[in-house]
Structure 1
Amino acid sequence: MNFSKKLRTYMLYIILLLILVIEIPIIAIGYLTQPVKSDTIIVLGAKILGQDPSLMLRLRLDEAIRLYNAGYAPAIIVSGAQGPDESISEAASMRSYLLTHGIPEEHIFLEDQSFNTYQNLTNSHKIMQINNFKTAVIVSNASHMRRSLLLAQNLGIQVTGSPAPMASSPYLTAKQYVREGAAIAVLFFTGN
């Protein structure tokens, strides 16, 4: 076996090892994390279509509604700004969805200034401090749960998680896990 072939083989092993080290914890935490009763629920934003939540965001919102109705928390923070291709903020879309599903307006807190997960959690933490909320349940899709919990812990937020299901599309699910693997790698090197 020549040197070039050995190098390619070693590189392949390193890549596979990195995938295992990064992806397995993402998958495990995304399916094993359990919420505990808290002061609030934080729903992390995702794309909206027109003024309506996308499928991934609806799955998150439905999980938040389930938690709220089950008594896990008496308040919900919806977090997400208006993207360049969105007609309203993600938070406004989420609030509208929650209102139509019976969540009282006074129990919904709007955070509409954040464009990424780090900002979602930083700005939601400020809302928690203003309202004397000490604990939170983060709701996001299973693939996003590990990074969300790590960022929250880095920010000193006392959280648990409640993963929403992934979309039924294998392509979309694989894409989300690959994206999260890359984001976790960046998080390890940059801290956010």
Structure 2
Amino acid sequence: MRGVQMVIIAVGGILLFWFFAPLLCKGIFNIGTATGILISLFLLCYGIFFGRMNRRALILWNGRKTHWICVFLLVLVLIMIMTVLAETFLMIHSALHTPPQNTTAVVLGCSVKGTKPSRILEERIDAAYDYLSVNKDAVCILSGGRGPGEDITEAQCMYEVLTKRGISENRLILEERSTTTEENLKYTGEILKDRGLDMTVTLVTSEFHEYRANQMAARLGMKSYSTPAHTFFVYFPTYYVRELYGILYYELRHWD
């Protein structure tokens, strides 16, 4: 049992550092950060007090009044695990849905620090640049308005970076009104219709975000594919866990 205890402590410690790192380095804190820290602390406590907690759990399991509470909690945990696995599968499957050549690209915005792209937005710009460099005839819609702490719109930020890297301005279309993913896609759909462009697009966004973005696009009448940006490994757990909540909320909100 000593070996199992040490593994649990090690996993808890690694996860705690991993979820704390974005908060300490960049002040990134969201529901994914909070959830990850809580799970990490639970694992650490369980590992440290391994024997004591197991004995307490066994007493509760064998108690006449507490047995069914334990069963309920166990079922709840299993449902949560199955939900996480199902959502993770959907994320991976959607991110692998690659587009035909020269499909119109839509880059979904993310925060801008003054006039500079955040790390997540920079990753999306990199993915867009790689795609446009290979698909020479594709046009690209840069989608994102201006939010708090942003001196320019997210679309303008992406435009400036891509044109400096050599992407022709004639291939770039700016959508500068949106403040959410749903607005990104709604206003993008309007641009596609106004310009007589095909409603088939490839969504350039973070890999964990592709599933939900594609679902939104489908509801707006678009046929969409994925060109995923690869998230910096230090930030990935925080945003991955946050997206689990996002997918659950989205599916419940659109439950038919």
What TM-score, normalized to structure 1? 0.92
- Classify the secondary structure of the residue corresponding to 1:78: strand
Q: Could you tell me whether the CA contact under 8 Å between 2:214 and 2:225 is conserved in 1?
A: yes
Partner of 2:244: 181
User: Kindly, what percent of the aligned residue pairs are identical?
Assistant: 27
Q: Could you tell me whether the CA contact under 8 Å between 1:67 and 1:73 is conserved in 2?
A: no
2:186 maps to which of 87, 107, 122? 122
Root mean square deviation of aligned Cα: 1.6
Summarize the alignment of residues 44-123 of structure 1 with structure 2, pairs less than 5 Å apart. Answer: 44-71=108-135, 73-123=137-187
Q: Distance in 2 between matches of 1:148 and 1:180?
A: 11
Q: Distance in 2 between matches of 1:100 and 1:38?
A: 21
Q: Distance in 1 between matches of 2:106 and 2:137?
A: 10
| Cα shift at 1:34 | 1.2
Summarize the alignment of residues 4-43 of structure 1 with structure 2, pairs less than 5 Å apart. Answer: 4-30=69-95, 32-43=96-107
Q: Could you tell me whether the CA contact under 8 Å between 1:77 and 1:108 is conserved in 2?
A: yes
One-letter amino acid of the counterpart of residue 185, structure 2: L
Q: Give structure 1 regions of 4+ aligned residues with deviation exceeding 4 angstroms.
A: none
Q: Could you tell me whether the CA contact under 8 Å between 2:102 and 2:135 is conserved in 1?
A: no
Q: Distance in 2 between matches of 1:72 and 1:121?
A: 23
Q: Distance in 2 between matches of 1:124 and 1:168?
A: 30
| Higher RCO (CA 8 Å, separation ≥ 6 residues) | 1
- Classify the secondary structure of the residue corresponding to 2:148: coil
Q: Could you tell me whether the CA contact under 8 Å between 1:39 and 1:133 is conserved in 2?
A: no
Q: Distance in 2 between matches of 1:18 and 1:70?
A: 37
Q: Distance in 1 between matches of 2:72 and 2:156?
A: 52
Aligned residues between the structures: 189
Q: Name the stretch that deviates more: 94-103 or 182-191.
A: 182-191
1:164 maps to which of 202, 212, 229? 229
- Classify the secondary structure of the residue corresponding to 1:149: helix
Q: Distance in 1 between matches of 2:157 and 2:244?
A: 28
One-letter amino acid of the counterpart of residue 183, structure 1: G
- Classify the secondary structure of the residue corresponding to 1:82: coil
The answer to which structure has the higher strand fraction is: 1
Asked whether 1:152 is paired with 2:217, we answer yes
| Cα shift at 1:73 | 4.5
1:132 maps to which of 185, 193, 196? 196
Residue deviations 1:111-131 (CA, integer Å, cap 9, x gap):
111111110001011111111
